[in-house]
Amino acid sequence: MTESAPTAHYDPSRLNQAQRARSIEAATGRAHDVLVIGAGVTGAGCALDAVTRGLSVVLVETGDIAVGTSSRSGKIFHGGLRYLEQYNFALVAHAIVERDLQVKTLSPHLTRPEPFLYPLSAHWERPYAGAGILLYDIFGLRGRGVPRHKHLTRGGVVRHAPSMDPDVVTGGIQYYDVRMDDARHTLAVARTAAAFGAQVITGAPVVEILRTGDRVVGVVFTDGVGGQRREIRAKVVINAAGAWASDVQQLAGTHTFDVQPSKGVHLLLRRDAIDSDTGILARASDSVIIARRWWNYWLVGTTDTPLDGDRGSPRPEVADVQYLLRELNHFLRRKVQPDDVLGVYAGVRPLLRPVGTDADATSALSRDHSVVPGPDGFITIVGGKYTTYRLMAQDAVDAAVKSGLLGDVPESLTKNTPLLGAAGWAALRNRAGALAGEHGLSRRQVERLLSRYGSQIHDVLAIGAADRTLITARDDWADYLPAELIYAVTAEGALTLTDVMMRRTHLAIELPDGGHDAAPAIAELVRAPFGWDDAEVTRQVAAYRAAVAADREALEMVQAGL
């Protein structure tokens, strides 16, 4: 392991194996104010909210940061146009404020406003859809994070999106939402919490909730590496376990809601699969289909079906891949082919269902979030959307404060707390050309690095100081620099090869074989900082390949015409 014990230069935002060991010691050594279960965006957000109010905080996670839904979303901060049709104006209004806050203040380096085209197939649709999109803009007037919408004729649609079929589309309305990289954004939230002093412990499933009488006083987790049972004591435990929130609530001895797991699948397409300078959001047979530009690719989703299998490893099915291609192709004259698809993934929406109720269609269940207090000292935060995670976290910590167990606690500061990498990012972006010259990179490469690391770019580039090959992009690794993979281990808390290739980078969906062939060389590159021996390298490659093969099985069947 390259990290050593804390020194004068100790940087608490650097997450790695040595930090994990230190955090376990610090977490188990004394009682804390707040313990958060689950390092998805909601739990990471709770940790950041609580620690910036001056509370002592521990964040524990079964697997990797963002291993659940928070790395498998549609990757947009959005108000959610379709929720307007459900008359959920409050959700849309709040989400738009949060969207704009991310772009302007919290994570400008990780986000970018993107145009979306709403195609119209009949003339009567224009006033109806136009009113909704106008409202969308009105909700955004305060934040002004994105440009306003505009109406397009059929000719205008085809000029922006030559791929669109003019026989199907009569015109369109273009509006804006914001693209992001969910796994990296959640990582930034967790690292920011760590920078303020939160102890972040991944590979640590909570298996028991400790109680004294009726009151929750802490948790027991098993140390994923050693398998040892460890106790952490806290005045308040916040359950942010997403799709597992009901199971965790039941560990605390209460059962007031279930999570109805709903599966959503996305496809990653080659950039040239669709000829368009704008994303597309269109009506699908049972909901909407969205194709958005996502860095050098198109990301297309999503499905919305009840999930029967394991919530930890939702699998795309043949019918999911076929549905997405069919619904998208309805609007396109040059049809997207199965071979245009590079990767596929599925995620689980944590939709809340109070005990004793039923829902036929998961798309009808509410996307609002709920704070569920109880038992004493235990608060569950569940539901909602990625976009509203900050508000959800604020509400959960407010509820913890209201319990009276934490004493006098200041109000939430997260509205004004930029995430790691945001400070100084705009100035660095203006210096992209100079930075490129200093490091022998292209301007495009520096801009790409800035959109992944913000002002942390210097830490990544420093890895190449002694060996330039480490900052030389590998086109067989989707243009990632080897230094990025090393940084994933030394500063971004990756504990496995799968963490490196699926969440710190997206090699698993960007490479057409899912990274199968690249895995051994990448494992060799990261073995030194991980401290792996030969047997561990072999085990890590096999585990990664198995995970990717399971995700890709349905796609490969469609590509083979089966």
Ligand X SMILES: Cc1cc2nc3c(=O)[nH]c(=O)nc-3n(C[C@H](O)[C@H](O)[C@H](O)COP(=O)(O)OP(=O)(O)OC[C@H]3O[C@@H](n4cnc5c(N)ncnc54)[C@H](O)[C@@H]3O)c2cc1C
> Would you tell me which residues interact with ligand X (CB under 6 A)?
37-43, 60-63, 67-70, 72-76, 78, 205-206, 240-244, 248, 264, 302, 347-350, 384-387
Smallest gap from residue 385 Cβ to ligand X (A): 4
Within 10 A of 122 (CB to CB), how many other CB atoms are there?
9
Smallest gap from residue 504 Cβ to ligand X (A): 15
Nearer to ligand X, 32 or 171 (CB): 32
What residues contact 177, with CB distance under 8 A and at least 6 apart? Answer: 76, 77, 78, 79, 99, 113, 114, 116, 146
Greatest alpha-carbon span in the chain: 70
Nearer to ligand X, 26 or 426 (CB): 26
Nearer to ligand X, 281 or 522 (CB): 281
- Residue whose C-alpha is closest to residue 491's, from 457, 541, 536, 464: 457
Q: Which two tokens stand for residue 479?
A: 């243009």
Nearer to ligand X, 120 or 288 (CB): 288
User: β-strand 206-212 against 341-354: which pairing, if any?
Assistant: unpaired
Smallest gap from residue 529 Cβ to ligand X (A): 23
What residues contact 552, with CB distance under 8 A and at least 6 apart? Answer: 343, 344, 514
* Measured distance CA(542)–CA(516) in Å, rounded: 10
Nearer to ligand X, 265 or 541 (CB): 265
Smallest gap from residue 78 Cβ to ligand X (A): 6
Smallest gap from residue 406 Cβ to ligand X (A): 22
Smallest gap from residue 166 Cβ to ligand X (A): 29
Nearer to ligand X, 397 or 449 (CB): 397
Smallest gap from residue 40 Cβ to ligand X (A): 2
Nearer to ligand X, 42 or 163 (CB): 42
Angle at alpha carbon of residue 420, lines to 416 and 424, rounded to 5°: 80
290 within 8 A of 262, measured Cβ to Cβ:
no
- Residue whose C-alpha is closest to residue 209's, from 178, 147, 269, 255: 255
Distance from the first to the final alpha carbon of the chain: 46
- Residue whose C-alpha is closest to residue 215's, from 230, 232, 235: 235
Q: For 111, left (φ over 0), alpha (ψ -120 to 50), or beta?
A: beta
Smallest gap from residue 532 Cβ to ligand X (A): 23
Smallest gap from residue 318 Cβ to ligand X (A): 18
Handedness of CA 96, 97, 102, 108 (dihedral sign): positive
Q: Which residue is nearest to ligand X (CB)?
A: 40
Nearer to ligand X, 109 or 385 (CB): 385
Nearer to ligand X, 74 or 482 (CB): 74
